[in-house]
Structure 1
Amino acid sequence: MQLRRKHVAWGAAAAVAVALLAWAFSPRPVQVETAVAAVSHFEQGIEEDSQTRLKDRYTVSAPVAARLVRIALKEGDRVAAGDVVAVLLPTMSAMIDERSAREAQARYQAARANVTAAVARVDRAAVSLDKARLELERTEKLARQGFVAPSRLDEARLGATGATRELDAARAAQDAAEHDRDQAAAALQPVSGSVRAGKPLALRSPVEGVVLRIPLASEATVAAGAPIMDIGDPRRLEVMAELLTTDAVQAQPGRRAVVERWGGPPVEGVVRRVEPGAFTKVSALGIEEQRVKVLVDLVDPPVGWEVMGDGYRVTLRVITQSVDQALVVPVGALFPIADGGMAVYRLESGRAKLQLVDVGGRNGSEAWIRSGLKHGQVVIVYPPPAVQDGKRVAVRRPER
């Protein structure tokens, strides 16, 4: 009896050990994540990091070299068309060193000497004119008495006329010499910052808008053409994206676009222009790419994006495909198969079932399934390599 009990105990222990070994070496279900195929709105588009910019940007610049008065306006201040935004004053004369001062003094002395010589020439021309007039009077008397030929009278008249012209020329030369003297004297005047000759020049805003940028607010001397400030209307914004030429072919004018990831709600837009010329741009990986600029107008009222400013970084999504009532699954559920098609794994009775699908399109998160799946079916997302057709799987519980 004891021997039988002993045999039964050993048999039970052996059975338990075999069961434990069978359980230990039996295949475990693969832990997977799942999602449900659902009907919703599907959109496919081209995404690119972009930036905003003003449609019309006006730069107020200095028309001449002048002294800029300190600007009281600040970035963000509103101005109306015709408002004075800056004032220019004539620049002071340049400071001169000792050598230049001596040269200027020498030029002044030379100008004074030229004036003296010009005065002497005027006096000599006046004497010559008096002499010519006396000669003309004597010749006319003799001509009336018949003692002088007519040709002699003509010569006297021409001599008087020439003497008059000589006097006029000498006086003009004297006037020019005096101006040269005054100019040389002006160069010797000391530089004074308190004296501002001439009228101030007011620069006015060409349009109504907001002051965007003031390169130099303090008083300073600026060159001709130097920018004073930028003015524009922030309510007239556009988005500029540099798309690959292969993507720009699909982003034709009139396409719907969405501006996202700017710090506020999505903003609707429409493609206005695709510039005709492309350019080469080197990517972050050092690859040369051909890109083209695409301009997008914002169609939503400014109330929704008025806090967005010029030069903001945004994400532009140009919609190339839009489908209502589309069956969508996470894009991570798709994987390619050998014949070039696409497939997913369905979850059915705790096992993975390979299912071929017809993909109509995909975006960054979802894929549109034309056929192969039904609404409500469960698919495996990011299937691990151990998952195969018919393999037992278990849904991974989310960690708390």
Structure 2
Amino acid sequence: MPDASADTPQTAAPPWEAKAPVTRRGLVRKALFWAVAAALVLAVVYAMQPRPVEVETGAVHQGPLTVYVSEEGKTRIRNRYMVAAPVAGSMQRVVLKPGDEVKAGETVLTRIEPALSPLLDARARSEAQARVDAALAARSRASENIEMARTSLKYAQANWDRIKNNTEKGVISDTDRDTFQREAEMKTREVKSAEFALQVADFELAQARAALQQIDKPAPGGASIEVRAPVSGVVLRVQQESSTIVTPGTAIVEIGDPSDLEIEAEILSRDAVTIKPGDAVTVEQWGGDAPAKARVRRVEPAAFTKVSALGVEEQRVLVLSDLVDQTPALKALGDRYRVEVRVAIWHSDDTLLVPAGALFREGSEWKTFLYDSGKARSVVVKAGRTDGKFTQVLSGLKNGDEVLMHPPDTVRDGSQVVKRAEAKQ
């Protein structure tokens, strides 16, 4: 049988191996595919490239700097007088209320009706006579204190008059002039305080003599002793309001002058050592529209322990300040009102300043980032004093430098950075 395959003619390659002819449309599709692939690759590469970090910058400049110590404080009346019962007896009800005005020697605070039986014995009379003698001695001491205060005032005023009339520049510094002026003012206030003390001594002597007179010549039915205000002012606190039996020395009424205020602040001892009398004080948060001015009068030498709100024991010192100007608005302040004091402990009229937010700590050094043509450059800065907003630059920077404000953790030395204002454009 003949072989059929032998008769089959040899043909071309099978259809599945045949190649389609290359057309123009196929070339376009391939080019488009490769273009899209290249664009995706470029996009991925671009996305992986580090982008500049947006930052804010601040300028290093020359300017004044004042360093403050800030602390909460409170007002208090400088001279307070506690009126006490001069004799034992039955005290009438006190009708005065806190805030009522009183006049020295005129306003009757209360009356005490003594019991005759204890007031008529010899022991009571001897005690009353001893109180009269003690009141006389106290008055003599008060008189001597006035003379001493007036002598000191005369000397301080004479010094101030000589300095005040000397107008030639350079003869004396402004600080010395302020010191002489403050000394004269303080001596004037000391004289007023001594005069108040003499008034109190006169009042106590009069009361002691009145008590002795009641013992020597008691009125029929029992005479009463009027307890009068020793000084002019207002009632701060009524210690004993209801009528009761009192003994000598029982506190009745507290009196003071609300216009004679001082400010006390409990300053940490490490800050108090930098404060000295005469330093300027700014009084804020007292309720008025504008801060008030004051000056440090005294830094008490003894500290005390106080537990903070966090339970930490702190050593604090009382710093007393006097208001410079008694404006009508400040008359609204009363005793024990809360204020905030800022004591100026250092000042420079012209120093190199950098924003405090541009500095950061690295180990034991202060550093900052300079903005250098789109790059962050780390520099070491020797910092001086600071007020919380600006810091004194001792070395490391110069006037006109741009520094990064609050740089993020992603910024390193040499990082690409861009100003936030330029990035928004």
Range of TM-score over shorter length: 0.5 to 0.7
For residues 61 and 337 of structure 2, the distance between their equivalents in structure 1, rounded to whole angstroms, comes to 36
* Deviations, residues 255-279 of structure 1 (Å, cap 9, x unaligned): 2222222223222222222222222
The answer to whether the 8 A contact 1:354-1:389 is kept is yes
Match of 2:310 in 1: 285
- Give the match's secondary structure for 1:262: coil
For residues 220 and 394 of structure 1, the distance between their equivalents in structure 2, rounded to whole angstroms, comes to 81
Amino acid at match of 2:55: V
Amino acid at match of 1:72: V
Displacement of 1:218: 4.3
For residues 108 and 327 of structure 2, the distance between their equivalents in structure 1, rounded to whole angstroms, comes to 26
For residues 295 and 105 of structure 2, the distance between their equivalents in structure 1, rounded to whole angstroms, comes to 33
Count of aligned residue pairs for this structure pair: 295
The answer to whether the 8 A contact 1:267-1:304 is kept is no
Match of 1:166 in 2: none
| Alpha-carbon distance change, 387 to 83 in structure 1, aligned in 2, over 3 angstroms | farther
Amino acid at match of 2:83: V
Match of 2:368 in 1: 344
For residues 66 and 231 of structure 1, the distance between their equivalents in structure 2, rounded to whole angstroms, comes to 22
Which has more radius of gyration?
1
The answer to whether the 8 A contact 2:87-2:114 is kept is no
Match of 1:15 in 2: 38
Amino acid at match of 1:344: T
- Give the match's secondary structure for 1:234: coil
Query: Among residues 372, 378, 382, which one is paired with 1:358 in the alignment?
Result: 382
Match of 2:268 in 1: 244
- Give the match's secondary structure for 2:27: helix
Match of 1:44 in 2: 67
Q: Which moved more, 1:278-287 or 1:384-393?
A: 278-287
The answer to whether the 8 A contact 2:114-2:223 is kept is no
| Alpha-carbon distance change, 64 to 368 in structure 1, aligned in 2, over 3 angstroms | same
1:269 aligns with 2:294: yes
* Deviations, residues 48-84 of structure 1 (Å, cap 9, x unaligned): 2222211111111222344443433332222222232
| Alpha-carbon distance change, 68 to 40 in structure 1, aligned in 2, over 3 angstroms | farther
For residues 356 and 108 of structure 2, the distance between their equivalents in structure 1, rounded to whole angstroms, comes to 56
The answer to whether the 8 A contact 1:84-1:205 is kept is yes
- Give the match's secondary structure for 1:235: coil
For residues 106 and 375 of structure 2, the distance between their equivalents in structure 1, rounded to whole angstroms, comes to 76
Q: List structure 1 segments (4+ residues) > 6 angstroms apart after TM superposition.
A: none
Match of 2:403 in 1: 379
Q: Which moved more, 1:220-229 or 1:236-245?
A: 220-229
Identity of aligned residues (%): 42
| Alpha-carbon distance change, 38 to 68 in structure 1, aligned in 2, over 3 angstroms | farther
- Give the match's secondary structure for 2:86: coil
For residues 274 and 365 of structure 1, the distance between their equivalents in structure 2, rounded to whole angstroms, comes to 27
* Deviations, residues 166-215 of structure 1 (Å, cap 9, x unaligned): xxxxxxxxxxxxxxxxxxxxxxxxxxxxxx94222222222222221223
1:325 aligns with 2:350: yes
The answer to whether the 8 A contact 2:384-2:392 is kept is yes
Match of 2:278 in 1: 254
Match of 1:145 in 2: none
The answer to whether the 8 A contact 2:115-2:222 is kept is no
For residues 351 and 333 of structure 2, the distance between their equivalents in structure 1, rounded to whole angstroms, comes to 34
For residues 285 and 27 of structure 1, the distance between their equivalents in structure 2, rounded to whole angstroms, comes to 45
Match of 1:301 in 2: 326
Match of 2:207 in 1: none
Please give the TM-score of this superposition, normalised by the length of structure 1: 0.65
Match of 2:106 in 1: 83
For residues 373 and 101 of structure 2, the distance between their equivalents in structure 1, rounded to whole angstroms, comes to 68
Match of 1:6 in 2: 29
For residues 221 and 401 of structure 2, the distance between their equivalents in structure 1, rounded to whole angstroms, comes to 87
| Alpha-carbon distance change, 78 to 327 in structure 1, aligned in 2, over 3 angstroms | farther
- Give the match's secondary structure for 1:390: coil
Match of 2:359 in 1: 334
The answer to whether the 8 A contact 2:354-2:392 is kept is yes
Matches within 5 A, 1:1-400: 1-90=24-113, 197-264=221-288, 265-303=290-328, 305-338=330-363, 340-375=364-399, 377-395=401-419
For residues 43 and 70 of structure 1, the distance between their equivalents in structure 2, rounded to whole angstroms, comes to 55
Amino acid at match of 2:349: D
For residues 271 and 63 of structure 1, the distance between their equivalents in structure 2, rounded to whole angstroms, comes to 38
- Give the match's secondary structure for 1:278: strand
Amino acid at match of 1:389: D
Amino acid at match of 1:6: R
For residues 201 and 32 of structure 1, the distance between their equivalents in structure 2, rounded to whole angstroms, comes to 80
Amino acid at match of 2:365: G
| Alpha-carbon distance change, 3 to 37 in structure 1, aligned in 2, over 3 angstroms | same
- Give the match's secondary structure for 1:275: strand
The answer to whether the 8 A contact 1:90-1:197 is kept is no
Displacement of 1:313: 1.9
